[in-house]
Structure 1
Amino acid sequence: MRLPRTLGAAAAAAVTLAVPTIPGAAAAVTPALPTIPGAAAAVPLAAAGVPAAAGPDGFATVAGHGQATTTGGAGGPTVTVTTAAAFLDHIARPGPYVVQVSGTIALPVGAHDGMHPVASDKTIVGLGPGAALTGGGLTVGLPVDEDLTTPPPAAVHNVIIRNLRFSGSPDDLINVQMFSHHIWIDHNDFSDGDDGAVDIKRGSDLITVSWNRFHDHDKTLLLGHDDDNAAQDAGRLRVTYHHNFFDGSDQRNPRVRFAPLVHVYNNYYLDNSYGIASTNDAGLFVEGNYFVSVNNPGRVDFSGPLGRMVQRDNILVDCNHAIETRGTVAEPRTFYPYTADRAASVPTIVPAGAGTGKV
């Protein structure tokens, strides 16, 4: 069954991530990011007519919680790490750092099921198309405190994660929690985690997840902790998901609770049991996506209270159900500028541009 078309590419406000050299820094210091040395096998997005974003876009650029936009480790030292010890040391340090990952780093399981904390003001970026983190995941956020219902001053913020392959975690691959804000997760490859690929919950806010490939994974993107967590989540969880390739990732692409506005545009869905689910009065604006062989592309009648969903210019091919719509949702342009690509172009530009080795 075929349904309409759409718009979609992310108009990114360029953020120059220039960083100074520092005496004694572990290894190579690059004068600027996100030009990544060693990415010889990179497939330039320009070849597909899509320039790679120099900086974040979407909700990660919206001012709030005392932060103007997302710059990551800009202004701090750049270090290149090749071991788990060096990697975990630098991502947990105070202050801005650009942490470049060279090769494959196996993360230890440790006492927290393989999840390792990331501190504020960090850019974590892989060098070339083969940089990888295996056997564990990253937690962007303070430890869970169920009694905390307002953002604490020490909430983790201003984190960029790009150009990395994540696989094999016994828990999540990336977990964003406890009122973390201004996070940009871009051009990564996610597979084979035991729980979520990128879970965002417990009051986290102002986040963009863009140009990632998700494959060989079940529960992909959880947004909102559970049906009883309105005290932390309601009015927050504003996230932009764009130009991601859901390549056979089975479900939760994303599955949303409580968020007032989630913008899902220009994503490519291929062979999924369901695409998007909105519950607990979450508001999803779904536009310019391309769904192929997806049983339920978009749902509001799901588990838990009904959500809201508005759809515009999406294309459905060989899907068993239409996108369910309900209620009204604010226009994303109320919050940030963007330009959507035509939905018909999504099956070409998204596989060509999503994942690692493309920035």
Structure 2
Amino acid sequence: MRTNVKQHLSTLRTRTVAATGALAAVGAAAALAATALPSAADTAGDAPLVGSPVGWASQNGGTTGGQGGPTVRVTSGGALADAMTEDGPLVIEVQGSVGLDGMNDVSSDKTVIGVGSNAAITGGGIDVDGASNVIIQNIAFSGWDDDAINVQDGSTNVWIDHNSFTNGHDGATDVKRESDYVTISWNHYFDHEKTALLGHSDGHTADIGNLRVSYHHNYFEGTESRHPRVRFADQVHVYNNYYQGNAEYGVASTMNAGVIVEGNYFEDVDNPTHVGYADSDPGRIVERNNVYDNSGAPEAAGSVAAVPYRYTLDDPRSIPGIVRGGAGPGNL
């Protein structure tokens, strides 16, 4: 299957070059129409439209993933791993359930998107390592042996959207080591402990000035901690998320991080927000317009500058219904 994917990509590029050369005299528009990319009729009703992110991933030039590149569909973990490391923009459609081992790199300018409502990745995870302009969307992750999605080493413009995460070993969506301009939206986390780490460690001061991440419309159902757990990052925007029965805490800001927590719904959460956590020094939290349903009192301290992008804040009282009905795969 790996060979087939590479041959398919090579064929797409060869046909594109040939068509462009043959039709140069009739203009660029005609050449584009003659390329071997799938038509709308070929993919209608299968892979959903990607759309565009709100939040930090919309900044710094925006996040478009594999837009403008060819499309390839994969049905095995090996084929997925190969396609993710191809050069240039590429839309990778994941069909059915595929298995991965360990962490698997994805290179810049890629969209990894599930087909329909049954696309899944089991056993391993995706490593966005020093890459830019990456979208991961509409996939159910489970049983990973390290992290499900790990964004690190200066990666920028990453959008993680409409996925689900359950029953893995370590982090579900971790962002660290000088990464920046990330949006994590409309995901469903359940039956898992460590959810979303932001910032590598108390000693990794190189994260200062980076790690700008937006978390919105995520459903943290019964997960224990790190929703997110933040070090150094400023500004982090946590809005319109649904927290339900989180055993340890909701959001923790440490190491002078600046976190805005607004318009969220906390239900049965004893510790909605922490200023400082474990051995880490305290951070800053601006808390506003949240609902605390059978939950403890939030901790807040300091000030955080406003985010530079436009966004629409839903009524926090409506968040349980909005997020339950819209988060996770199959809800695009």
Report if the CA contact (8 A) 1:29-1:80 is conserved. no
Distance 2:75 2:108 in 1: 21
Q: Percent of aligned positions with the same letter in both sequences?
A: 51
Aligned partner of 1:313 among 258, 269, 289? 289
Which digits, 9 at most, give the CA deviation of each residue in 1:119-140, with x for residues without a partner?
A: 0000000001110000000100
Report if the CA contact (8 A) 2:109-2:133 is conserved. yes
Report if the CA contact (8 A) 2:255-2:276 is conserved. no
1:77 aligns with 2:70: yes
1:103 aligns with 2:96: yes
Partner SS, residue 235 of structure 1: coil
1:87 aligns with 2:84: no
Give the aligned residue type for 1:347. P
Aligned partner of 2:240 among 263, 266, 273? 266
Which digits, 9 at most, give the CA deviation of each residue in 1:138-184, with x for residues without a partner?
A: 1001xxxxxxxxxxxxx310000000000111110000000100000
Shift of 1:301: 3.2
Paired residue for 2:12? 22
Distance 1:136 1:97 in 2: 21
Aligned residues: CA RMSD: 1.9
Give the aligned residue type for 1:102. Q
1:217 aligns with 2:200: no
TM-score, structure 2 length as denominator?
A: 0.86
- Structure 2: runs of 5 or more not aligned: 1-10, 16-35
Give the aligned residue type for 1:71. T
Paired residue for 2:327? 354
Give the aligned residue type for 2:293. V
1:38 aligns with 2:33: no
Shift of 1:80: 0.5
Aligned partner of 2:56 among 50, 54, 59? 59
Give the aligned residue type for 1:174. I
Distance 1:76 1:125 in 2: 14
- Structure 1: runs of 5 or more not aligned: 1-20, 43-51, 142-154
- C-alpha change, 1:338 and 1:53, in structure 2 (3 Å) is farther
Partner SS, residue 12 of structure 2: coil
- C-alpha change, 1:268 and 1:36, in structure 2 (3 Å) is farther
Shift of 1:31: 4.3
Aligned pairs for 1:319-330 within 5 A: 319=295, 321-330=296-305
Distance 1:199 1:38 in 2: 29
Aligned partner of 1:338 among 306, 311, 328? 311
Report if the CA contact (8 A) 2:114-2:138 is conserved. yes
User: Which structure's residues are more often helix, by fraction?
Assistant: 2
Distance 2:234 2:191 in 1: 30
Larger radius of gyration: 2
Distance 1:223 1:179 in 2: 13
Aligned pairs for 1:115-154 within 5 A: 115-141=103-129
Distance 1:105 1:24 in 2: 28
Shift of 1:37: 2.8
Give the aligned residue type for 2:284. R
